[in-house]
Structure 1
């Protein structure tokens, strides 16, 4: 019995890891999003796919999920981690820059669509609490799918970003509302709801007060250890503790995870927390999407093909029409409104989360949840086709789009300084003196804290992590300056930056000529050896003291620097010996 259980667990683990490590990269090769990939894999290996053939072909037990319900706790934890990272990603600075679009267009779009869907479902006989949950869920659009397709710089991308940002913010009150309505879903009145609301608000207020003072100290201590394991443990402690706190008063644990993410987002450690949690969130979310795919019964779809098709078309058409009209009323051009409306029409992966929360709160029946999960899964799967359709229709509606509409109120193009010790501070001072915006990143929490107290724009983070610099908007950075005194790390980071951003200027600090040569070989735009600069500065001081005019001295210094740089790039080393020998012979 014990051996059979272990075999079952190992088989399920093999399928999950196989999906994450083999199948999903294969989908990515054909530019199919992992969200769709996980759903399709779940459909394939679930009880309604190959799983139903296990009795006829016993060997299939090794490539199917034998007990889908055993994955439910992991799927729920994946939802918690996803909502936690949504909280981490919300930036108040970015929201303020786009405040008119986010809180104008975004709010109007979500409220209008959700109320229309709620009204339609109520007319079809759905109780108002369930209709409200479904309306809010189906009104959401996929940040994970839409933004990679539209970008954030085009008019379509900027319009979509404003609505998606508001939806991310709205997740907090939506989940809070569903959790508050949970005990009273099948009751006609609101008896007891007030108690849940005031207790929930009290817990959230206590979390925000305690978190404001405790979290920076907790993560500062974790950062001083410079151990990713300690940072991960602290992050999980905050997520799980917050989730338990809100669930203890009758709210969904997702509410606690969101609040925890928002609180950590206000600290200087949010980038590092997000980087460390990203792999776990991705895998846990993958398990959740697998369970969604395993819950899709193709026979049910076939038997209910007409209702499902009507639901999919109705949701897509309603969202596209309302979004397009609102964009036109806000001043968008016809092509932008049309393409954005069609692209934003499909449901979101967050729709699945809200549906799961609504089902958990008993606002909707399991069969209803499964029906709309199928509708959502189909909508997610055809989102790339909707993007293509939107572009084709937009070109017919308006052949020449205006690229200037929906610009952000602010656009930050900041130089990124990696390492904020003695050299990094000097670089920051020089950039500030010439009114050039910058942001510095360092893995030393004490150094970052001191720098922030002194007015520097510094953040805590490990630049060697894949997404640490991307969160600093490296895509729009005019340059990256590597100032840390770690030769191997500088070479690795230079190579990674050059591979990922071929046109990005990378200026790196080098210890000597040999190190500078390595940096050039790894793709540095400029490598500055400390020994060379010290020699040139010493020469400059001596020549000026000897009475040589400053202008010729500076010109000769620049010429010698260019000569040395060319020598390093071509030969790899600086060799002073030939010059010394020649001069000795000449003097003789």
Structure 2
């Protein structure tokens, strides 16, 4: 019997890996995104898709998943790693910088959406506790899908990315209280309810306190010890301990597993091992998160959906319209520009993965009936299927509304100009730098003197504005007083020196990284006040040398050591000339 179960489990995993290796790349090649590919694969290959006919056509049993529940634990790990990496990309300083969006826009959206959807459910005949849970569950959007779509389009650091992230962070914060509330609503004794509330508050607070104490005082020394006496495998193991351990602590305290993983990411992100953790976990996160989306697709029973299609479609349309209107109105109320608000409304209108978690908990406790879950589940799943399509529609609609960039700098009010990175010049080099900085979650503001290029880049989603970075008033407009870093990538030597001199007249201590053509140009930039100069000729030669050594057969560690040593010597030689 055990051997038979293992055989089924291995076969189901093989089906998933085929979907990840064949079906998803086809969807990505068609520019439909990996998320939609995983969701469709789950619907088609699941027990309610082709798996329904495996009894009549035995061959189908080898290409379909027969037990969706067997892979659910791995899918939950995917969500944990997603939220861990999300926390890893943030910092407490950046969370504070996004406080207006998180607690303002996100708080209003969550409250109004829950109230509107809950009231509609109550008037449709749901009991008050059930209506409350339905409203709260459907008020949440999909952090997994929205952030995955924005990441694939490299739009996380754009205004719409920051707006969506702020709202989603507020929604993620609300998951734990909603799950606790779902348990409370199943109790009829007020005394028992108040006692359980006090116990859950104490346990949850204690769990979070333990995570922060351990993370602040033990995590960094533990990582340093592992790096010194272990290796990448030891660091990987310690990272998994941080993720799973924090998740178990919050779960023990009556909070959600995801909250613990997110807190662990925030704490690891404050250490110097942040980048190593990202590199080690990213491939696993992609596969496990894909497995989660496959299980979501498997949860859609096509026969039941067809039988209740009118009710499900009506509920789906109502959900999308209500949340779309509320997100759009709240974003505009909190000062977000119309194109950004419109795109954010399309992204956040569908339901999210936590709707399944909340509704499942409420169903098991008796707050939501199984018959209602048969309708609510497909509504949530179908709306999630529509998220990538809504993202494309929202981007198209926002581009249609966005007027052409005028020949002046018109910075939007929704950019949090604190701790950001300013780029002077956004050509080939500037774009490459911006991509790397964006991957690390930096808030970017770029100035470009070519008006047409600035307009085109804005349409692509880059935060680029027309303006001369050598003008003091322009640098003040982009918040140089609160910037964390200034990068100059313009290829004109005189213009680069003038920009550095202007920066130094405004802020003497701001780190300024500049692109230099040759040693003579580097000396001029140093005299102007640049912190670090990157010489084009030297870096190009070092890249060629590294490639040559790789083809020669040297291992990566040796190549990195040789190139770093040569770089130090070349820059020292350039300074002596």
Output the TM-score relative to the length of structure 1: 0.67
Q: What is the aligned counterpart of 2:275 among 271, 277, 280? A: 271
Q: What is the aligned counterpart of 1:412 among 403, 415, 421? A: 421
Runs of at least 5 residues in structure 2 that lack an aligned partner in the other structure: 425-432, 447-486, 490-512, 516-533, 552-562
Number of residue pairs aligned between Structure 1 and Structure 2: 463
1:55 alignment partner, SS class = coil
Runs of at least 5 residues in structure 1 that lack an aligned partner in the other structure: 416-438, 440-465, 483-503, 541-556, 558-588
Structure 1 residue 58: Cα displacement: 1.0
Find the counterpart in structure 2 of residue 167 from structure 1. Answer: 168
1:26 alignment partner, SS class = helix
Q: What is the aligned counterpart of 1:515 among 532, 535, 545? A: 545
Cα distance in 1 for partners of 2:44, 2:11 equals 15
1:186 alignment partner, SS class = coil
1:382 alignment partner, SS class = helix
Distance 1:472-1:178 versus aligned 2 partners, 3 A rule: closer
1:543-582 deviations in Å (ceiling 9; x for gaps): xxxxxxxxxxxxxx6xxxxxxxxxxxxxxxxxxxxxxxxx
Find the counterpart in structure 2 of residue 10 from structure 1. Answer: 10
Find the counterpart in structure 2 of residue 573 from structure 1. Answer: none
Cα distance in 2 for partners of 1:517, 1:260 equals 37
Cα distance in 1 for partners of 2:68, 2:543 equals 60
Cα distance in 2 for partners of 1:513, 1:396 equals 41
Structure 1 residue 469: Cα displacement: 8.6
Output the TM-score relative to the length of structure 2: 0.69
2:421 alignment partner, SS class = coil
Structure 1 residue 530: Cα displacement: 6.4
Q: Is the 8 A contact 1:510 1:516 kept in 2?
A: no
Q: What is the aligned counterpart of 2:293 among 285, 289, 299? A: 289
Cα distance in 1 for partners of 2:106, 2:543 equals 54
Structure 1 residue 204: Cα displacement: 1.7
Find the counterpart in structure 1 of residue 219 from structure 2. Answer: 215
1:336-387 deviations in Å (ceiling 9; x for gaps): 4444433432233454455556556765445544533322332232234334
In the alignment, is residue 147 of structure 1 matched against residue 150 of structure 2? yes
Structure 1 residue 230: Cα displacement: 1.0
In the alignment, is residue 117 of structure 1 matched against residue 117 of structure 2? yes
Q: Is the 8 A contact 1:292 1:373 kept in 2?
A: no
In the alignment, is residue 471 of structure 1 matched against residue 440 of structure 2? yes
Cα distance in 1 for partners of 2:55, 2:547 equals 64
CA RMSD of aligned residues (A): 4.1
Cα distance in 2 for partners of 1:514, 1:146 equals 35
1:16 alignment partner, SS class = helix
Cα distance in 2 for partners of 1:330, 1:375 equals 29
Q: What is the aligned counterpart of 1:233 among 231, 237, 240? A: 237
Cα distance in 2 for partners of 1:481, 1:362 equals 63
Cα distance in 2 for partners of 1:384, 1:40 equals 12
Structure 1 residue 141: Cα displacement: 3.2
Distance 1:241-1:367 versus aligned 2 partners, 3 A rule: farther
My pick for the range that moved more, 37-46 or 357-366, is 357-366
1:350-429 matches, within 5 Å, as 350-355=354-359, 363-390=367-394, 404-405=411-412, 406-410=414-418, 411-413=420-422
Cα distance in 2 for partners of 1:313, 1:71 equals 31
1:201-245 deviations in Å (ceiling 9; x for gaps): 122212212221111111122222462211111111122222333
Distance 1:518-1:395 versus aligned 2 partners, 3 A rule: closer
Cα distance in 2 for partners of 1:468, 1:12 equals 39
Find the counterpart in structure 2 of residue 203 from structure 1. Answer: 207
Distance 1:87-1:227 versus aligned 2 partners, 3 A rule: same
Find the counterpart in structure 1 of residue 197 from structure 2. Answer: 193
Structure 1 residue 136: Cα displacement: 3.2
Distance 1:290-1:356 versus aligned 2 partners, 3 A rule: farther
Q: Is the 8 A contact 2:102 2:169 kept in 1?
A: no
Structure 1 residue 64: Cα displacement: 0.9
1:379-420 deviations in Å (ceiling 9; x for gaps): 2322343345445655776766886323331431479xxxxx
In the alignment, is residue 40 of structure 1 matched against residue 40 of structure 2? yes
Q: Is the 8 A contact 2:176 2:259 kept in 1?
A: yes
Distance 1:536-1:243 versus aligned 2 partners, 3 A rule: closer
Find the counterpart in structure 2 of residue 444 from structure 1. Answer: none
Cα distance in 2 for partners of 1:13, 1:46 equals 12
In the alignment, is residue 323 of structure 1 matched against residue 360 of structure 2? no
